Each structure stands twice: as C-alpha cells, then as structure tokens.
Amino acid sequence: MAEVTALYRYPVKGLSAEPLPALTLARASGLAFDREYALALGTTAFDPQNPEPLDKGYFLMLRSNEVLAALSTRFDPETRQLTITRGGEPLLTEDLTHPEGREAVERFFEAYVGPAAKGRPRLVRARDHKFTDGSVISPAFMRAVSLINLASVRALEERTGETIHPLRFRANIYVDGLEPWAEMDWIDREVTIGSLRLRGLARTPRCAAVDVNPETAERDTHLPKALKRHFGHVDLGIYLEVLADGAVAVGDRMAVAAQAEDAIG
C-alpha cells in the first residue's frame, strides 16, 4: 500500500525546502506559503498589482544559480520572518512585512549571487499568485502541488549507478510503495491521499535544476539526459490539481482511481 513518507513546502522560489508533518490545501489557492515569494532578477519587470506569470528564468533559481543550494532558509508564516543560514551559521533574519527587511534580503542575495543576479534582485509577492513553474501554463497549474514516487527515483538510480537525493526534485509530496513510474499513468485520474482529493494534471519534465546536489550545492549529475537515454523521456513526478479542501500528513495512505470504478493503492 502506497503512503506518504515526506512533505515539503518552498516559501521562496529557488530556496531550500521546509519539511512539515502535514499540509493543508485548498481548491481555490493550493498550498499556502508554497512559492509565495520569489527573487526577481535585477532586469525582471514584475508588477505585484498586476501580476503576470513569468518563466522561471526571470528569477533566481537552481537551474542557473546552484549557489542557492548551499543556503538553508526558514520562513515563519506567523511573523513573516525569513532566516538564512549556511553550514549551521546564521547569516540573516529579516521581517518580510517591512520594506527594510525586504531590502536587506535583496542586498544579501545581490552580494551572494554576484553578477548572475543582474543587479539587485527584488523580493516579490502578489496576492493570489504563486511562483510555481507551472504558473505560465494555467491558473490550475499555478495552484498545483507536485508529487514524487520514490520507486521511480530508485529506478533511475539503478540505471545510472548513482545515489540520487530525492530533494533534487523539489516536490511537495513524496510517496513510497508504488511500482516505478506508476505516476505516469495518473493524468486525469483522481488521487486520494488522506482526506485530500486531487487529480493528475501532467507529468513533470525535468531541467538542469535537478543536477544540483541539495547537500553540496554542486552540479554533479546529468539527470535529464539520463532520463531520456534510459527511459525515453525527461519526466519524473507529476503535478496534481487540488479538487477539494483537505489535508495530508506523513503516513497517510493513498488510492488512485482506476480506469473503471474500482481503485488501486
């Protein structure tokens, strides 16, 4: 029986994952505080009053800025404080509700990333907007959550002969107990995890961001090429649309609606 082994959110696009014992999701807004903020490049125009979805290349992100993986960040939704550490050493704690706090974060990343930031990056946020990769596709993709089948990660490890940290794939929900690549067949099928009802939207194509090791911040693999070579595609994981308000917790079991009326787990 498949079950949830880990849950994560990513309050700032491109920065570190925050493990959580449970997630509460809403049909209208997806996962709260997931990709709620982003660091727009110094050359990026983004209007918080009239937000338009932009490709991830307009922001600091791991595909281009692997140095981000060396940082550990923590966001407190109650106080809106962002804390940044490296190797256990505190580097910065700022209140994102204040202009001075946001400016301090921007100046930190301007110095930390260097010329690749293309000037001083801007910490951006907009009402009812998420900086997910799928935001450029549709509002449903913007609010979607991502899932990784750990059996698929192991299948890739077997073919490449490499140990692959699952957090390379920056998903919200990690599950185990499935057959490898089972998630590839969930498009337009209902998925139930705990009290949460979801629907498969699309397979998740992988870019060079997954080549960045989340433990060392080194670009030490060629996983999209390996996926294509060994499996004929560059996909690993799936996007899921939230169909109704609900919650999911580590240890919850899941069921996937079969093509007929019955379900498999």
Q: Give the model's pLDDT for residue 258.
A: 81
Model confidence at 179: pLDDT above 50: yes
CB neighbours of residue 75 within 10 Å: 20
Q: What is the mean pLDDT of residues 66-85?
A: 97
Q: How far apart are alpha carbons 113 and 226 in whole angstroms? A: 29
CB 38 within 8 A of CB 75: no
Res 140 pLDDT > 70? yes
pTM score, two decimals?
0.95
Measuring CA to CA, which residue among 16, 9, 20 is closest to residue 250? 20
pLDDT in tens, 227-244: 999 999 999 999 999 999
Q: Among 74, 96, 98, which Cα is nearest to 85's? A: 74
